[in-house]
């Protein structure tokens, strides 16, 4: 079976030789190609090549079309990204500096015509040509409730959300939701088939259960309804969300859930059962300091919890560059060993 078929089998509960194994080696591609982050991320060809090489070296199942999270802000006018050599680039120029900027914010009619999309399109074209028939291609999309954080800063967004003018807040959310709808359509059309829906406000640790129901859930519905839930993975930026899985299933019918390493994986699997794909996630910050033996033991633990009954995938967080190569190897080897079905 190809990795794409193994993923499909895990989603539907069909027989497969093993669980799907996902690994997110984004910034490592620059090091692999011997380039600075700035040079690496300037070109879709580089990102595709970096992704293909990392996947070929370690043998996991997926490739990524994500450059860095701030790419979405660039599609909306951000002009400065802070690059550094030991970690992920971050937004250095907020598109929204005053509430008047919210009224001026324009969502491009056709995202795929925007200059900031062109390198992403190149990357996806190469990935689709090289491995599209056999391997899952991941894309990262920020929910409407979270996108304002990279457009204006998280604290300014919380201030507007919690105590600012409601009409300004709703205008911004409406524009961000429209952006999401266009973005997810663009990624699907370009060949991405695993769509990581980054929705930290979809975890109760952000606004509590009341805020989740009254605020996050309706906006998530608005984001997802026009394009549907095909390929969508529920991801709350590594925040635990077990207590809302049932409601997300019921209200949004999303089929895959990326469970925080801080959450109880067994509990999540018990809630989801055969109704969705449970994604067990290795704690990539502990991976920095673990030995290969500790890494192997953790992968074994996660597989023993998640594998019985199928509907399980093993994945990672964003994998900081400080994670030792030996631990990446130990993790993938253990995933193949403990993730295999008899």
Partner 1 sequence: MSRDAIIRAYNEAVFDTDKEAAFEVVNAALSHGMTAEEIVFEVVIPGTEAMMSAITKDPDANLAQHFMTAQIAAEVTEKMLTRFNHPPEVIGRVVLGTAFGDLHSLGKRIVAGCLKALMVEVIDLGVNVPAERFVEEALKHEAQVIAISSMMVHTATGERGCAKVRALLREAGLEGRFKIVVGGAPYRFDEGLYRTVGADNWAADGVAGAKLIAQLIREVKA
Task: For partner 1, give the closer residue by CB, 16 or 23.
Answer: 23
Closer to partner 1 by CB, 206 or 235: give it.
206
Tokens of residue 235, six digits: 């991801």
| Closer to partner 1 by Cβ: residue 30 or 131 | 30
Judged by beta carbon, residue 172 or residue 192, the one nearer partner 1 is 172
- CB closer to partner 1, 121 vs 281: 281
d(CA 232, CA 197): 6
| Residues 6 or more apart whose Cβ sits within 8 Å of residue 26 | 64, 66, 68, 88, 318, 319
- DSSP element (H, E) containing 112: none
Q: Smallest distance, Å, CB 178 to partner 1?
A: 25
- Closest to partner 1 by CB, 289 or 309: 289
Residues forming the site for partner 1 (CB under 8 A): 82, 84, 86-88, 90-92, 153-155, 158-159, 162-163, 204-209, 211, 238, 261-262, 283-286, 288-289, 320-322
* Min dist. Cβ of residue 332 to partner 1 (A): 20
Residue 280 near residue 259 (C-beta atoms within 8 A): yes
List the one residue out of 313, 307, 7, 19 whose CA is nearest residue 131: 7
Cα(217)–Cα(284) distance, rounded to whole angstroms? 28
- 120: nearest Cα among 70, 179, 172, 180: 70
Select from 259, 333, 262 the least CA-distant residue to 296.
333
**C-alpha to C-alpha distances, 55 to 183, 284, 287, 292, nearest whole angstrom:** 25, 17, 19, 19
As measured in angstroms, the least distance from the Cβ of 149 to partner 1 is 9
Q: What distance in Å separates the CA atoms of residue 299 and residue 337, rounded to the nearest whole number? A: 10
Q: How far is the CB of 250 from partner 1 (least distance, A)?
A: 21
Decide whether 12 or 291 has the Cβ nearer to partner 1.
291
Q: How far is the CB of 166 from partner 1 (least distance, A)?
A: 14
CB of 29 to partner 1, least distance (A): 15
70: phi then psi, degrees, rounded to nearest 5? -65, -10
Q: How far is the CB of 243 from partner 1 (least distance, A)?
A: 9
Residue 46 structure tokens: 């580089």
In the complex, what is the shortest distance from the CB of residue 205 to partner 1, in angstroms, rounded to a whole number?
5
Give phi and psi for 120, each to the nearest 5: -60, -45
- Residue closer to partner 1 (CB basis): 69 or 141: 69
In the block, tokens 């490739």 appear at 63
Record the tokens describing residue 151, joined without a space: 């457009």
């Amino acid at each position: 079976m190809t990795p794409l078929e193994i993923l499909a089998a895990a989603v539907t509960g069909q027989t497969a030789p093993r669980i799907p194994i996902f690994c997110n080696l984004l910034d490592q591609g620059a090091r692999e190609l011997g380039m600075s982050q700035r040079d690496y991320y300037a070109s879709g060809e580089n990102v595709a090549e970096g992704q293909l090489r990392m996947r070929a070296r370690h043998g996991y199942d997926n490739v990524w079309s994500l450059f860095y999270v701030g790419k979405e802000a660039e599609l909306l006018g951000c002009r400065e990204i802070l690059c550094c050599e030991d970690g992920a680039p971050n937004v250095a120029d907020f598109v929204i500096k005053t509430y008047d900027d919210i009224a001026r914010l324009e969502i491009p009619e056709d995202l795929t015509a925007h200059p900031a999309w062109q390198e992403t399109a190149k990357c996806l074209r190469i990935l689709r040509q090289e491995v599209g028939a056999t391997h899952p291609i991941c894309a990262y999309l920020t929910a409407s409730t979270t996108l304002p954080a990279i457009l204006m800063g998280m604290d300014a967004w919380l201030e507007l959300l919690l105590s600012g003018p409601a009409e300004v807040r709703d205008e911004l959310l409406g524009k961000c939701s429209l952006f999401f709808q266009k973005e997810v359509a663009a990624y699907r059309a370009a060949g991405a088939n695993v769509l990581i829906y980054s929705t930290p406000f979809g975890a109760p640790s952000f606004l509590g259960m009341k805020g989740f129901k009254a605020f996050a859930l309706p906006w998530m519905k608005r984001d997802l309804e026009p394009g549907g839930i095909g390929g969508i993975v529920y991801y709350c930026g590594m925040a635990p969300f077990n207590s809302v899985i049932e409601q997300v299933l019921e209200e949004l019918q999303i089929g895959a859930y990326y469970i925080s390493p801080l959450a109880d994986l067994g509990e999540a699997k018990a809630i989801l059962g055969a109704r969705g794909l449970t994604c067990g996630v290795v704690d990539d910050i502990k991976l920095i300091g673990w030995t290969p033996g500790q890494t192997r033991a953790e992968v074994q633990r996660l597989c023993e919890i998640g594998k019985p009954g199928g509907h399980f995938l093993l994945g990672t967080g964003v994998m900081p560059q400080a994670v030792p190569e030996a631990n990446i190897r130990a993790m993938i080897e253990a995933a193949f060993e403990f993730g295999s079905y008899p």
